[in-house]
Amino acid sequence: MTPTRVEEPTVSAITRPKAVVHYPDDDGEPMSDNTVQFDWITLIKCNLEHQFAGDPAVFVAGNHLIYPVEGHAKLRHAPDAYVAFGRPKVDRGSYKVWEEDGIFPQVVFEVWSPSNDAQNMEDRRGFYEQYGAEEFYIVYPQFPSHAEGWMREAGRFVRIPEMDGWVSPRLGIRFAVGADALTLTGPGGRVFLTPAEIAAERDAAEERAEAERLRAERLAARLRELGVDPDAV
């Protein structure tokens, strides 16, 4: 009896293990070139974070690497600030789009620095356009009366012709470009504050709340002295 010949699996039939790709959380580039650029990065990031603090499905980050395509670790950029709608507020080493339900951050900010050049910004704009950003803004600390923006239309970025008075469709923030200053204002008309100003405002609110609590306690004690139940008043 002739033994049955067992076919050897072909190379194509063998399931090859997936190559392990390392996605660094740091691109080795400095966060900022100077204090003015750093202040603008933190101004934008902290105010947007404050604005969306109550929405668990909006993630705000600054100087954070975005990887748009799995398996391509060199294809990346770290915007100075970005906002991703529909993504949870959890810590990430980097933002890998394929692990984020395919959602690329919808709004991206870059803050111009002396180490930037026009080609660098053009490359970044092309990257954000290609992979799905809806809005892209550049602010210029060295030229405070200047800002640029692009909106996605029909799958492509189109330059916003006038930034003074422009309101971001996604964020609701307003750009005011003055003769010597750029001001960003939140949806409720609140001007973007520095982290120190935000902290001072919070401290003042806590002090007012504490003063009100003490006043209420003194009033309650006085009513009790008069034989009045303060809880019944």
Contact 96, 105 (CB under 8 A): no
Which spans in 19-69 are helix H? 35-51
Q: How far is CA 190 from the centre of its chain?
A: 18
Distance CA 216, CA 211 (A): 9
Mean per-residue pLDDT, 50-69: 96
Residue 201 and residue 184 share a domain: no
Say yes or no to pLDDT of 145 above 80. Answer: no
Residue 132 and residue 222 share a domain: no
User: Is residue 66 in a domain?
Assistant: yes
Contacts of 7 (CB under 8 A, 6+ apart): none
Distance CA 157, CA 62 (A): 22
Task: Tell which wins on pLDDT, 208 or 57.
Answer: 57
Mean per-residue pLDDT, 135-139: 97
Percent of the chain with pLDDT over 70: 89
Task: Tell which wins on pLDDT, 79 or 116.
Answer: 79
Q: Take residue 167 and report the two structure tokens written for it.
A: 């309101």
- What pTM value is reported for the model? 0.79
Q: Take residue 230 and report the two structure tokens written for it.
A: 């303060």
Residue 93 and residue 129 share a domain: yes
Range of the domain at 75: 21-192
User: Is residue 158 in a domain?
Assistant: yes
Say yes or no to pLDDT of 13 above 50. Answer: no
User: Is residue 141 in a domain?
Assistant: yes
User: Is residue 12 in a domain?
Assistant: no
Mean per-residue pLDDT, 120-138: 96
Chain segment 60-109, per-residue pLDDT in tens: 999 999 999 999 999 999 999 999 999 999 999 999 999 999 999 999 99
Residue 81 and residue 183 share a domain: yes
Residue 127 and residue 27 share a domain: yes
Calculate the CA dihedral of residues 206, 210, 213, 215 and round it to 10 degrees. Answer: -130
Q: Pairing state of beta strands 95-96 and 107-111?
A: unpaired
Residue 219 and residue 177 share a domain: no
Residue 113 and residue 73 share a domain: yes
Chain segment 175-197, per-residue pLDDT in tens: 999 878 899 999 989 999 887 87
Residue 45: CB atoms within 10 A of its CB come to: 21
Distance CA 161, CA 151 (A): 10
Helix and strand totals (H; E) in the chain: 3, 10
* pLDDT at residue 87 in the model: 98
Say yes or no to pLDDT of 5 above 90. Answer: no
CATH (domain of 138): 3.90.1570
Distance CA 76, CA 98 (A): 13
User: Is residue 3 in a domain?
Assistant: no
Distance CA 207, CA 217 (A): 15
Residue 10: CB atoms within 10 A of its CB come to: 7
Say yes or no to pLDDT of 24 above 90. Answer: no
Say yes or no to pLDDT of 132 above 90. Answer: yes
Residue 112 and residue 169 share a domain: yes
Q: Pairing state of beta strands 107-111 and 135-139?
A: parallel
Q: Which amino acid is at 84?
A: A
User: Is residue 100 in a domain?
Assistant: yes
Contact 139, 116 (CB under 8 A): no
- Asked which of 44-53, 84-93, 173-182, 217-226 is least confident by mean pLDDT, the reply is 217-226
User: Is residue 150 in a domain?
Assistant: yes
Mean per-residue pLDDT, 31-40: 82
User: Is residue 27 in a domain?
Assistant: yes
Say yes or no to pLDDT of 231 above 90. Answer: no
How many domains does the chain divide into? Answer: 2
Residue 86 and residue 201 share a domain: no
